[in-house]
């Protein structure tokens, strides 16, 4: 999900560009200050003709939908004078960020080596605490987990994974693989991917859910599957696949710019920093799109890289995924956690042509619909299900499309978590909504694992 950078479109009409302030160039030392920024939801369809003509040059903007923009304090008057059909979603983005960040590290971990408690889901956490979380989880289940050292990120942080299983590990079981925090500012995905805590606790009879892990084995991301499955989980903050940008961008969002999206990898002779890890996978990377959310411009939030799979993290993650896909059971389920919009996105992103869509699309719709129904029964929240090209936007080089198209993962999804709109927090989801979000997706995961296993 993208947000707030489209003021670049309005800059001829309003005197500033949020994209230039927050998303493009050179490293900065000072923390980006969003105090007083207003966030608006603007109707693209009803925009005046001069603005629509500029919007057309931004292929990731659907003129039939809304766009959400963050306006700096000095430009609020000019923006409102444009008379656009808009809704004010936040009158102080900086205050939202402070409320969210105030609780980082507020919840202490359990004793080292002990099972992390559910209080973990009451606040957001630092990178170091995320690392310790996964180490504690591994230490709590020494006979049912394996620590995987996979490689290093561009900034030299260790990329690792945690394999979990119940009973005896079975290498021929199908694999469930989860990724998270590929986009650095999507903090809620670090917490949703921690749902393996729930699964492992359940399997040990602690009573926080169904006894699921005893029937599954995990490989790299996070774990939770019925008896016919092994689960691979790569926690965003600490593991490899799910944390492509977690290692680089996530820390940057906590120290410098809360709304940073990409990784932090520079390019030779290019001023702008970072690549969108979810446009860099080696599947239909160069598919020609008339419109869509992908760019060859290094300063764009959706910069796809200079060649497929050329980010340091994707080299490591794709190698791991290929290794897992080559096992006897293959990859049964792949989920790439994102935020926000409350969507369950199926393949493909690159095309909705009937003769191109996945052969098992109806099966994916059915299982995805069951996932959404389980969420709704738990919290009342509604999640829309369908191919990304159908219900969100066109895109190329996504992890979802790669794992289904290149690696034959049976079910391969991008799940956009809460909230539905920026009016409920957007990327800056209030801490009090962490636990409800995790709880509803735990219900969805239990349903899916019962079906795909």
Residues annotated as catalytic (active site), given as ranges:
416
304 contact partners, CB below 8 Å, separation of at least 6: 275, 276, 279, 280, 285, 294, 295, 296, 396, 397
Q: Which of 173, 171, 179 is nearest to 453 (CA)?
A: 173
| H/E segment holding residue 252 | helix 251-255
Q: Give me the half-sphere count of Cα atoms (radius 13 Å) on the Cβ side of residue 179.
A: 34
Sort strands 229-233 and 216-218 into parallel, antiparallel or unpaired: parallel
CA 60 distance to own-chain centroid: 18
The span from the CA of 109 to the CA of 106, in Å, is 10
CA dihedral 316, 322, 326, 329 (to 10 degrees): 90
CA distances from 104 to 125, 127, 136, 265 (A): 5, 10, 18, 26
In the block, which residue shows the tokens 């993962």? 409
Q: Which of 21, 105, 31, 107 is nearest to 71 (CA)?
A: 21
Is 86 in a helix, a strand, or coil? strand
Structure tokens at 39: 């966030």
| H/E segment holding residue 229 | strand 229-233
Structure tokens at 279: 């446009």
CA 155 distance to own-chain centroid: 20
Q: Which of 68, 70, 63 is nearest to 46 (CA)?
A: 63
DSSP-assigned letters across all residues of 305-320: -SSTT-SHHHHHHHHH
Structure tokens at 292: 């869509």
Structure tokens at 290: 């008339």
Number of neighbouring beta carbons within 10 Å of residue 141: 20
DSSP lists the bridge partners of residue 178 as 233, 335
The span from the CA of 244 to the CA of 242, in Å, is 6
The span from the CA of 69 to the CA of 67, in Å, is 7
The answer to whether 201 and 127 are in contact (CB under 8 A) is no
CA dihedral 328, 229, 409, 445 (to 10 degrees): -170
């Amino acid at each position: 999900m993208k947000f707030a950078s489209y003021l670049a479109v309005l800059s001829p009409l309003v005197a500033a560009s949020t994209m230039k302030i927050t998303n493009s160039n050179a490293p900065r030392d000072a923390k980006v200050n969003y105090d007083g920024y207003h966030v608006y939801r603007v109707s693209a369809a009803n925009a005046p003709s001069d603005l629509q003509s500029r919007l057309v040059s931004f292929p990731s903007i659907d003129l039939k939908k809304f766009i959400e923009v963050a306006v700096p304090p000095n430009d609020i008057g000019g923006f409102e004078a444009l008379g656009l059909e808009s809704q004010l979603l936040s009158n102080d983005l900086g205050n939202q960020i402070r409320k969210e960040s105030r609780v980082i590290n507020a919840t202490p971990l359990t004793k080292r080596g002990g099972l992390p408690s559910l209080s973990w889901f009451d606040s957001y956490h630092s990178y170091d605490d995320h690392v310790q979380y996964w180490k504690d989880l591994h230490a709590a289940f020494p006979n049912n987990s394996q620590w995987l050292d996979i490689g290093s990120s561009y900034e030299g942080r260790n990329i690792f994974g945690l394999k979990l299983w119940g009973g005896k590990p079975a290498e021929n079981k199908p694999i469930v693989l989860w990724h998270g925090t590929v986009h650095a500012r999507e903090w809620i995905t670090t917490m949703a991917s921690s749902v393996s805590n729930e699964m492992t606790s359940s399997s040990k009879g602690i009573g926080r859910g169904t006894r699921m892990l005893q029937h599954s084995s995990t490989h790299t991301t996070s774990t939770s599957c019925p008896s016919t499955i092994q689960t691979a989980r790569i926690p965003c903050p600490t593991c490899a696949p799910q944390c492509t940008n977690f290692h680089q961008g996530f820390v940057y969002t906590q120290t410098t710019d809360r709304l940073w999206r990409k990784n932090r990898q520079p390019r030779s002779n290019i001023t702008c920093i970072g690549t969108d890890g979810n446009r860099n996978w080696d599947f239909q990377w160069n598919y020609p799109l008339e419109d869509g959310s992908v760019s060859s411009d290094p300063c764009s939030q959706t910069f796809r890289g200079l060649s497929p799979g050329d980010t340091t993290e994707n080299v490591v993650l794709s190698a791991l995924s290929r290794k897992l896909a080559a096992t006897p059971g293959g990859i049964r389920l792949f989920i790439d956690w994102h935020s926000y919009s409350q969507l369950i996105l199926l393949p493909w992103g690159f095309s909705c042509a009937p003769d191109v869509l996945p052969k098992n699309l109806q099966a994916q719709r059915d299982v995805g619909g069951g996932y959404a129904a389980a969420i709704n029964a738990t919290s009342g929240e509604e999640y829309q299900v369908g191919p990304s090209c159908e219900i969100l936007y066109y895109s190329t080089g996504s992890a979802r499309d790669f794992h289904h198209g290149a690696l034959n993962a049976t079910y391969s999804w991008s799940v956009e978590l809460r909230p539905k709109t920026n009016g409920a927090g957007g990327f800056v989801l209030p801490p009090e909504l962490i636990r409800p979000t995790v709880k509803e997706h735990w219900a969805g995961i239990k349903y899916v694992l019962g079906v795909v296993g």
